[in-house]
Chains A and B, each alone.
Chain A
Amino acid sequence: MNETLPISITRKGVNLLKFLRPVLGAIILLFIVYRLSQVLFVQHTYGPETWTRLIIAGLIIGSVYALIAIGYTLVYGILFMINFAHGEVMMLGAYTCFFVFEAFKNIKVGTDPVLTFSNAYPVVSIIIAFILGMSVSALTGYLLEKIAYRPLRKAPRLVPLISAIGASIFLQNAAQLLFSPQLRDVANPEILARGAGWKILINGSSVTIPYTGVFTFLLSLLLLVSLYIVVQKTKFGRAMRAVALDKKTASLMGIDVDRTISLTFLISGALAGAAGVMWGIHNSMVYYYTGFIPGIKAFTAAVLGGIGNLPGAMLGGLFLGIIESVGPAALGIDFQLKDVVAFLLLIVVLTFRPSGLLGEVLAEEKV
């Protein structure tokens, strides 16, 4: 955006920055190339089977990030606020998944003492888990907007952010008080048993492609594509884009702005709920803090792709997932530092593309 301001270019500080940025980029690039060549050609730390495993794990987690990131991007596109409580909406979806499977585990079918409902009708129980999880999260998102954000629509921009932070803290602690702080294991139906999967042989050792992972990945792709179609093709999608562009004009054209915003929160909540259920099925660890880290990561992904941009969020999510899973190995550093790699990637990308990978330059009022 600075390029449009000829005054600032002559300034010393900006000149320094203009000089600094390419140098910084070159250093980073050199470092990455050096480490990559070290890892790939000199040390041979990991064989192809490890790389495959890492990429598979990255794709799975990336698709979950993408689903959550869509929620951030949708809300940001319309209200220009960071919905900080979005991760907690996802956490409630994960809890719903836990409760549904727990209930079905305890329902016995027929005379067989071991046959439970979730194993007798696995497809039905998975569908019910998704429907309930998505509705609980959608309802949470809707109520959040109604209680904590709607009265603040005209307030300065930091105010809804703090309100969202408050809501996030509230939801986390409510979940802790209601469901106790212990870590829960989700009882999957047997067809989606954790750890089971197709085995393929690479380089003499077998690599498992987990069923839960494939399920998660395909379902999130399906949801992402259908959301994209909804936004691009339907009347509601058009209304949503119109409200995102200009609320006042949209309302003059007969669009109910409040209703559109509520629906946006419902949709983003439902997607987060689906992500939560998938998290429960694939990762199993469900507790009150479940939503926090994926929430932050998904927000990072949304910014990485260019916040407010739907394909950007999807791409950013997958990209972030793969980078944080493959990155530490590729650079030959400790796996504990995967979050460092993820956030460094963010800083580097934003240094060179200040509005994200696919982000358009936002108008002044919006930034």
Chain B
Amino acid sequence: MKTTAVRSLRTGLTFGAVNVFLILIGFNAMIGILLAKALGAQVITSIPAVPYLAAYTGLIGLWSGLSAAWKCKGTGVACSVLAGFISGLAAGAITFLFCLGIGWLLVSRIDFRNYLTILSFDFISGVLMGFPPLSGALVNLGILAASGATGGLLNGAVHVSCGKRLGQHITAWVRTVTGKVRGFNHGKGHLAFQIGGIAILAAAVIFLPLNWGSYWNYVAGTVGLYVILGLGLNIIVGLSGQLVLGYIAFFAIGAYTMALLNSPVPHNLMWGFWPALVLGVLLAALAGLLLGLPIIRLRGDYLAIVTLGFGEIIRILLKSDVLTDFSGGPRGIQNINGPTLFGRPFNSDIQFMYLIAVAVVLAAFIYNRLQRSRTGRAWLSIREDETAARACGVNATRYKLLALALGAAFAGLAGAIYASRNQFTGPEEHSLMASINVLSLIIVGGLGNVPGTILGAFALKGLPEILREFANYRLLTFGALLVFMMLSRPDGLIPSRRPVYRTPEESKPDGNEPEGNNVS
């Protein structure tokens, strides 16, 4: 009982601190506005009406109560409610102190916006629900404590009616569903499952772009290009186990090759799309090879920082005045010509969408074949233990260079299409953040497999576009989600399965180890 109380108190204090932080970044106002819009109310100002802010506070309290009751060791409803109440009260206490603080600012008319940018007087009185400081703080405390207790009650009620706690119930349900799907995929229905899936996907790829409108085609195209990038990086990181942080440099090489050969300024070469595409891919592969030659001895994080440096070198060179005459400098290159096929120019997003879809399918096909080939197995052996691989006669140097060159070629392909589609490329598109995005997407999706890469690309490039409502909070949420993802699913959304050697006599179904990918 005592430990439950202490634990709930701790949960509550954490939630209180988080609540204060969320208020300080204005998250409560955004949630309030979303609620108001959802209920059909008119929102004119940036600060929603008091009831919605109260609803936000209630939600936080509810969550804190739920999570405290969740951890509660005791079984009774009373215990659950008590845990929720304690947690809500603790969260309320912190919020109470905070409210007193900002209330004092309001009363003594100190404009604090220069330091904490959100604290305008209107906002403060909104947080205090329009009351004077002390009673406003008390109202916050009351709402949090009451909703905390409600959360506890809810958890207890579900627990009593279902026999299990809410969370366990949900996870158990999810597990059965995924188990069923997986079983279907492996059983007799395997082929039908695959054909059906591919048919649905193909239909979606063919018909969706026509009916989407250009914005969604643009988003989907970006996702597709990131799938290609992800597959390329997967060859390097996922298959051959070399951590490369400056991957976007190869993308930049592809993009700039396309731009320089197909734009009126600065060189007016106008080679056309297809030769430039091929040359971009080749040049990117060559760059991968040239980067790889001196540094192939490096392992792990040394390799990571060197490639990071390489990426930065490329970006800074492109950005500096030194190369302005050659590559446009900081302003980049505009008016890049699009491709033509059988004399017809590509000019709409739909056509580009199809081009990207073809490129994605091609990349996925090559990736899949490589993974299952002798080369793929050699990469795998290098990834697991380079010394042992060398001892077994695998030419590690050659295979590692091959992985770098192939991965870079994928990036070159994506870069060339990207530049041609956007009709623009500039140095800031190729910053370190872009490399990190690609790395994040393959790890979030699941290192080393195609479906994981596609899912990761959707999650990391598609979701932010969909979540436009969050505008300012997009990157914040992205960072928090990245941490959360790694904590909850370190192997990614779709973990790779290790290839298992099965002898015909031993017909054990599925001997895959729980430990997924071990890149070391």
Contacts and interface: CB of A to CB of B under 8 A. Distances in A.
B490 A155 contact: yes
B476 A170 contact: yes
Given A17-B397, A296-B432, A177 B473 contact: yes
Interface string B10-52: 0000000000010011100000000000000000000000000
Contacts of B439: 162, 165
Interface stretch (B141-149, B371-379, B512-520): B512-520
Query: Counting chain A CB atoms within 10 Å of each CB, which of B116, B301, B472, B518 scores highest?
Result: B301
A168 interface: yes
Main secondary structure of the interface of B (DSSP, over half): helix
Contacts of B301: 76, 82, 303, 307
Given A156-B517, A336-B321, A354-B302, A170 B390 contact: no
B305 A162 contact: no
Contact of B398 (A1, A13, A173): A13
Interface in B277-302: 293-302
B223 to A, nearest CB: 20
Contacts of B422: none
A133 B318 CA distance: 37
Contact of B321 (A7, A82, A148, A334): A334
Given A334-B322, A367-B299, A156 B396 contact: no
A21 B298 CA distance: 14
B500 interface: no
B167 to A, nearest CB: 18
A147 interface: yes
A170 B298 contact: no
B213 interface: no
Interface residues of A, number: 67
Contacts of B393: 7
Interface string A172-211: 1110011110000000000000000000000000000000
B243 interface: yes
Contact of B483 (A147, A173, A354): A147
A44 interface: no
Interface stretch (A49-57, A123-131, A338-346): A338-346
Contact of B316 (A170, A303, A337): A337
Contacts of A178: 24-25, 116-118
A169 interface: yes
Contacts of B21: 174
B305 A300 contact: yes
A236 interface: no
A350 B117 CA distance: 44
Contacts of B457: none
A151 interface: yes
B162 interface: no
Contacts of A147: 483
A74 to B, nearest CB: 15
A166 B483 contact: yes
A327 interface: no
B483 A148 contact: yes
Residue of B305, B395, B481 with most partner-chain A CB within 10 A: B305
B313 interface: yes
Interface in A304-329: 307
Interface string A8-23: 1001011001001100
Given A7-B390, A163-B487, A300-B305, A340 B476 contact: no
Contacts of B481: 166
A163 B116 contact: no
Given A148-B487, A336-B316, A350-B306, A166 B480 contact: yes
Given A158-B443, A170-B479, A303 B305 contact: yes
Contacts of A161: 243
Contacts of A296: 308, 312, 432
A160 interface: yes
Interface string A128-160: 000000000000000000011001100111111
Nearest to A352: B294
Contacts of B299: 1, 354, 367
B487 to A, nearest CB: 5
B335 interface: no
Nearest to B492: A159
B322 A163 contact: no
A21 B305 CA distance: 20
Interface string B468-482: 000011011011111
Interface of A: 1-2, 5, 7-8, 11, 13-14, 17, 20-21, 24, 76, 82, 99, 102, 147-148, 151-152, 155-163, 165-174, 177-180, 296, 299-300, 303, 307, 333-334, 336-337, 339-340, 342-344, 346-347, 350-351, 354-356, 364-365, 367
20 contacts: A2-B297, A7-B391, A13-B395, A17-B297, A20-B294, A82-B301, A99-B115, A155-B486, A158-B519, A162-B443, A163-B487, A172-B479, A173-B475, A177-B118, A299-B305, A340-B317, A342-B309, A350-B306, A355-B302, A367-B299
Given A351-B295, A354-B299, 14 more contacts: A1-B299, A2-B297, A178-B24, A179-B116, A334-B321, A337-B316, A337-B322, A340-B313, A343-B309, A344-B309, A346-B309, A347-B294, A350-B298, A365-B520
**5 tightest CB-CB pairs across the interface, nearest first?**
A166-B482, A170-B479, A169-B479, A343-B309, A180-B117
